[in-house]
Amino acid sequence: MPVKFILLCLIALPTVVIADAGDGQFMGYELGTNYPSVPENTEITTTGNLLIKAQNPVKPADVGRVSLVTTPGSRTIGYIAAVSWYATEGEAREIGRHYVELLRAIYPDWSFGREAMDASMRIIEVNLDKSPYNLQVRLVRDEHDGRSMWRFSMGLGWQVDSREWRAWQDQAATEQIAAKTTDHKQLMKKADVRGL
């Protein structure tokens, strides 16, 4: 009996621990699925979507935070980002190189490239693509905890103009319009509009 139990645990373990970006999974979440609730620290993006700090991510120890961009109503996940901050550019670049090499080893069949450079011609972004998904590694100067730091991020999303990306964008736009309509109705219901 103990041998069977151990074998069952070993068989089940990889499905729990190992995510596959090729299936839209990253940091314990999956693109296109719904986040269960709206935590208190949720922000609204400039486009009207939600930026949710993930409550139970599955992440490497050196990843500081995992955030999800979701639609405002159903909280359908459209982008998964893992972020860490570093005091120096050198530290951030070192961790960036580590993760680019690691992601290339994990996903050797993904197209590698599409680099972006800053004004000083230093690489600040690298992309790995396998339709319909995009893994992006990025490095930028950012404010964190009141200090100027270097932010390293890794993110999984859909390739721009893929069928999945367009469907998520359409869903987000529909939910944003519905939320604004509801907000306007509530405002009108509560407001004193005499003479307006």
Q: Evaluate whether residue 163 is within a structural domain.
A: yes
Q: Three-state SS across 129-172?
A: EECCEEEEEEEEEEEECCEEEEEEEEEEEECCCCHHHHHHHHHH
Residue 5, pLDDT score: 42
Q: Evaluate whether residue 65 is within a structural domain.
A: yes
Q: For the chain, how many structural domains are there in total? A: 1
Residue 127, pLDDT score: 96
Share of the chain above pLDDT 70, in %: 85
Q: How do beta strands 65-70 and 50-53 pair?
A: antiparallel
Q: Evaluate whether residue 194 is within a structural domain.
A: no
Residue 14, pLDDT score: 41
Share of the chain above pLDDT 90, in %: 67
Q: Considering only 62-66, 69-73, 92-96, 142-146, which range has the smallest mean pLDDT?
A: 142-146
Sign of the torsion formed by the C-alpha atoms of 186, 45, 168 and 155: negative
Residue 120, pLDDT score: 83
Q: Evaluate whether residue 74 is within a structural domain.
A: yes
Q: What is the mean pLDDT of residues 80-96?
A: 96
Q: Evaluate whether residue 100 is within a structural domain.
A: yes
Per-residue pLDDT tens digits for 36-70? 998 888 999 999 999 999 999 999 999 999 999 99
- Domain that includes residue 120, residue range: 2-187
Q: Evaluate whether residue 159 is within a structural domain.
A: yes
Q: What is the mean pLDDT of residues 144-164?
A: 95
